[in-house]
Amino acid sequence: MAADGRRGLGRGLSALLGESEGGRSDGDAGVREIPIELIKRNPDQPRTHFDEAELDELAASMRGRGVLQPILVRPWPEAPGYFQIVAGERRWRAAQKAGLRAVPALVRNLDDQETLEAALIENVQRTDLNPLEEAAAYRTLMDLAGRTQEIVAEAVGKSRSHVANSLRLLSLSPALQTMVMARALSAGHARALIGVPNAEDLARRIVVEGLSVREAEALVRRQAKAGHSRAASAPRSKDADTVALERDLSEALGLKVEIVDKDGAGEVRIRYGALEQLEDICRRLMKV
């Protein structure tokens, strides 16, 4: 399975758009014009947000020049005579805005796994995916057949470190993910906040102050250092046995007694308010 998965991903989107392998085409390897109403979107499309302004610009271009690049579709398994988009939903949406009746398309007989792979690769390679959408796409590709980061990186033409850093974004809190999706935070800003206790407060400060990624990283380091200092200087809570012993000693001596213990070693502090009290403590200790 892994070997087949490597082969499938390795051939990339260009092979799916070009000549089919082993006669997998539906019999027409060329581009055909398909009525828009016969084309349905892919519910597993990794892109969840389409910028309306960008779609309007693309639609305006299509009105004058048409659809220059065909979309990739497959026969829709659930409805004979209809087609499902594999790659090119953005062009399909813009074509509808432009009032076009049909779009050029390549038809390929692809199974569900190949369809998802092609959709993910097309989005990562050709469009400006939101960082969270890109990370989710990588995760889906890896989960399809237990694929490694190296195989996914090779498939989409990215470095393994890029894929690894993208996947880290999926560990962000929902609030931070929303800020990344809205592009209030860049992927670099978000990565600096991963695992930080007060990440959401810092994120709001980063946005308000317009900090760069380097400035955000420095802010996180300062916060971490301050937190360690506070933790080191904060008094340690005492267990019930230590508190009880302090009380018994205080009652026996008639003075305030404090026990400072750290992992079984420490000191006993006896507070006095007059020299007479100190002399009385000395007599008791020396049994004079």
Considering the domain architecture, whether residues 83 and 149 belong to the same structural domain is answered as: yes
Which residues belong to the active site? Answer: 89
Considering the domain architecture, whether residues 15 and 130 belong to the same structural domain is answered as: yes
Range of the structural domain that residue 279 is part of: 240-286
Mark which of 216, 233, 250 sits at the end of a domain: 233
Considering the domain architecture, whether residues 55 and 93 belong to the same structural domain is answered as: yes
Considering the domain architecture, whether residues 132 and 87 belong to the same structural domain is answered as: yes
Mark which of 105, 129, 164 sits at the end of a domain: 164
| Residue 57, φ and ψ in degrees, nearest 5 | -65, -45
Considering the domain architecture, whether residues 18 and 120 belong to the same structural domain is answered as: yes
Q: What is the CATH number of the domain that holds 147?
A: 3.90.1530.10
| Residue 72, φ and ψ in degrees, nearest 5 | -110, 130
Here the contacts of 164-170 (C-beta below 8 Å, separation 24 or greater) are: 165/191, 166/131, 166/134, 166/135, 166/138, 167/135, 167/138, 167/139, 168/135, 168/194, 169/131, 169/132, 169/135, 169/194, 170/132, 170/135, 170/136, 170/139
Considering the domain architecture, whether residues 20 and 140 belong to the same structural domain is answered as: yes
Q: Tell me the residue type at 284.
A: R
Mark which of 217, 233, 249 sits at the end of a domain: 233
Alpha-carbon span 38 to 23, nearest angstrom: 24
pLDDT for 20: 40
Tokens of 118: 């092609």
Considering the domain architecture, whether residues 8 and 143 belong to the same structural domain is answered as: yes
Domain tally, the chain = 3
Tokens of 97: 């805005």
pLDDT for 6: 41
pLDDT for 226: 74
The pLDDT tens digits along the chain (288 residues) read: 334 444 444 445 555 555 443 334 444 457 889 999 999 988 777 676 777 888 889 899 998 888 888 989 999 878 889 999 988 888 999 999 999 999 999 998 888 777 777 777 777 766 567 888 888 888 887 887 677 888 888 877 788 898 899 999 999 999 999 999 888 999 999 999 988 888 999 999 999 999 999 999 999 888 877 766 555 555 667 777 787 788 878 777 777 888 888 777 888 888 876 777 787 788 777 875
